[in-house]
Chains A and B, each alone.
Chain A
Amino acid sequence: MRIHQLLSGAGPHDAITSEAVSFRSRFTQWGWDGKDYAVHVAPGLNGHIRMLKRFKPKPEDLLLLHHSAGAPRLRELLALPNRKLLLYHNVTPAWWFWEHAPNVAVQCAVGREQLPALVRGVQVAAADSAFNAAELEALGAPRTAVIPLLVDYGRLGAPAPTSPPGPPTILFVGRLSPHKHQDDIIRAFSHYRRHRAADARLILVGDPISSRYLEALRNLAETLAPGAVSIESGLSNAELGARYRAAHVFLCLSAHEGFCIPVLEAFSQGVPVIARPAGAIPETTGDAAILVDDPDLAVVSELIHLAVTDTDLRAELQRRSQARLALYSPDRVADRLRDAVEATAS
């Protein structure tokens, strides 16, 4: 079989690009041929992904369309005679981005507009969570499959055997973007620091959606918790693993998540997770995280305190998170991927 993957954008720190690379290595193991293409390819990918304009499939090739943002030439692609598998990663509603990143907002608005045509134009519509699959079903997809994101958690290194030394450290990993609510994380952290742990630190890891938004977050951090907040991006896997291992709590106050890989990365490193039950988060975490939907950030601050100081609670969350992680093992995900591809081909 020959299978080509098509992405709207590809970058070195992008989860969907990493997944496409992992898929490709599985395809090769299974003896399947093909190439991977994206509309926009960022520097630093070392030729793993080609530009879409070079895409010339044969009619018998199978196409795997990763959908996470608007893509040009979609109508042309859907008109091709090839059998197609859609893998929907969710498109964040555009209104989160209009103020700080209008170019991203446009891509998201177009991406949402294109979804019905995609659902109609493929043989099998899959998504990386049941939350995302429900959107496809609402658009009339007759056959849906759930293929969780295929992530190599081992790339972060082995988890630390004990709780990290040093002052309480709170971590969040994810694009610096309004819908991820790093602003609320900074507010909750400033409460925690003021009332529970004056030496606490907050680490935010992620590429900013725009320089303007990064500056707004830096200003907020300097106002509320001067000198206690680090904002980092472009980390290597080893560096990212070290950030997880230095953290006492992973705090996610995101308002919209289609899957949320960092929560599973935190599980893999034994870091207790506190999160808002937004989007696919409850599905991803199961009972292995503390889910809090209280808008009162004092409650979040007290939860951080609890998760940092209650060793039995930490141990129980770590035990549950290992069980949860087993559900997302790369081999299990690969089996689902293979089933979906074979269903598309048949």
Chain B
Amino acid sequence: MTDPEHAVEQARAAAVTMRAQGAYAEEGPAAAGEGSTTLENLFEWAMIDPDLREVRSTRKLGAPVTLLKLGLVRLLNQYHAELISQQTRFNVHVLGHVRRLETRIDELERIVGSRKHDGE
């Protein structure tokens, strides 16, 4: 019997043995990156694009309610288009500004770094 305290150790040894026999060689698709919000992510998210699949009823027999909600969204399409375009305009301009600031900070850091280097 394997006791629970030694199960992981035994599994590690089994994985090594199996790999030596050619198993576990395949690489699955990589896991998504975690915890990093890059400027590239922000540019992607700046373009507001609501997922219409989230417009639905969560009730058991909610199909008619879902249809009604989707109908309302369709009726208000012009309003939403205006809202989305204004929000996206703001997002994109703010991000463009952030990118220009980052570039400027990089330049300044390079200049300060080279001056320090020259001073030494």
Binding site for B on A (CB under 8 A): 42-44, 95-96, 98-99, 102, 178, 183-184, 187, 190-191, 194-195, 210-212, 220, 223-224, 234, 255, 287-292, 294, 296, 298-303, 305-307, 310, 312-313, 316-317, 320
Q: Is the CB of B26 within 8 A of A194?
A: yes
Q: Is the CB of B2 within 8 A of A190?
A: no
Q: Is the CB of A290 within 8 A of B35?
A: no
Q: For B24, list chain A residues within 8 Å (CB).
A: 191, 195, 298, 301
Asked whether B82 is an interface residue with its Cβ less than 8 Å from the other chain, the reply is no
Asked whether B37 is an interface residue with its Cβ less than 8 Å from the other chain, the reply is yes
Q: Is the CB of A187 within 8 A of B28?
A: yes
Asked whether B4 is an interface residue with its Cβ less than 8 Å from the other chain, the reply is yes
Q: For A320, list chain B residues within 8 Å (CB).
A: 4
Q: Is the CB of B11 within 8 A of A306?
A: yes
Least CB distance from B87 to A in Å reads 13
Q: Is the CB of A294 within 8 A of B41?
A: no
Q: For A313, list chain B residues within 8 Å (CB).
A: 1-4, 7
Q: Is the CB of B7 within 8 A of A178?
A: no
Q: Is the CB of A303 within 8 A of B11?
A: yes
Q: How far is the CA of A305 from the CA of B57 in the complex (A)?
A: 41
Question: Assuming A99-B41, A102-B45, is B34 touching A299 (CB within 8 A)?
Answer: no
Question: Assuming A306-B11, A313-B4, is B31 touching A298 (CB within 8 A)?
Answer: no
Q: For A195, list chain B residues within 8 Å (CB).
A: 18, 23-24
Q: How far is the CA of A338 from the CA of B54 in the complex (A)?
A: 40
Q: For B19, list chain A residues within 8 Å (CB).
A: 298
Q: For A98, list chain B residues within 8 Å (CB).
A: 37, 41, 45
Asked whether B12 is an interface residue with its Cβ less than 8 Å from the other chain, the reply is yes
Report B1-42 CB contacts with A as 1/0, cut-off 8 Å: 111110110111011001100011010110110110100010
Q: For B53, list chain A residues within 8 Å (CB).
A: 211-212
Looking at chain A's contact residues, the main secondary structure is: helix
Q: For B59, list chain A residues within 8 Å (CB).
A: 43-44
4 nearest interchain CB pairs?
A312-B1, A211-B53, A302-B11, A298-B24
Which of A234, A303, A316 has most chain B Cβ within 10 Å? A303
Q: Is the CB of B32 within 8 A of A299?
A: no
Least CB distance from A212 to B in Å reads 6
Asked whether B58 is an interface residue with its Cβ less than 8 Å from the other chain, the reply is yes
Q: For B28, list chain A residues within 8 Å (CB).
A: 187, 190, 224
Least CB distance from B60 to A in Å reads 8
Contacts A291-B8, A301-B15 known; list 4 others, CB within 8 Å: A98-B45, A187-B31, A220-B29, A298-B18
Q: How far is the CA of A117 from the CA of B21 in the complex (A)?
A: 58
Least CB distance from A68 to B in Å reads 19
Q: For A307, list chain B residues within 8 Å (CB).
A: 7
Question: Assuming A43-B58, A102-B45, A187-B28, is B15 touching A287 (CB within 8 A)?
Answer: no
Q: How far is the CA of A316 from the CA of B23 in the complex (A)?
A: 29
Q: Is the CB of B8 within 8 A of A299?
A: yes
Q: Is the CB of B8 within 8 A of A303?
A: yes
Least CB distance from B23 to A in Å reads 5
Asked whether B120 is an interface residue with its Cβ less than 8 Å from the other chain, the reply is no
Write 10 A-B pairs (CB below 8 A) sorted by A numbering. A178-B34, A183-B32, A212-B51, A223-B29, A234-B60, A290-B7, A298-B18, A306-B14, A316-B1, A316-B4
Least CB distance from B54 to A in Å reads 6
Q: How far is the CA of A43 from the CA of B45 in the complex (A)?
A: 30
Least CB distance from A112 to B in Å reads 14
Select A96's contact among B3, B5, B34, beta carbons within 8 Å. Answer: B34
Q: For A183, list chain B residues within 8 Å (CB).
A: 31-32
Q: Is the CB of B12 within 8 A of A294?
A: yes
Q: How far is the CA of A161 from the CA of B66 in the complex (A)?
A: 43
Q: For B10, list chain A residues within 8 Å (CB).
A: 302, 306
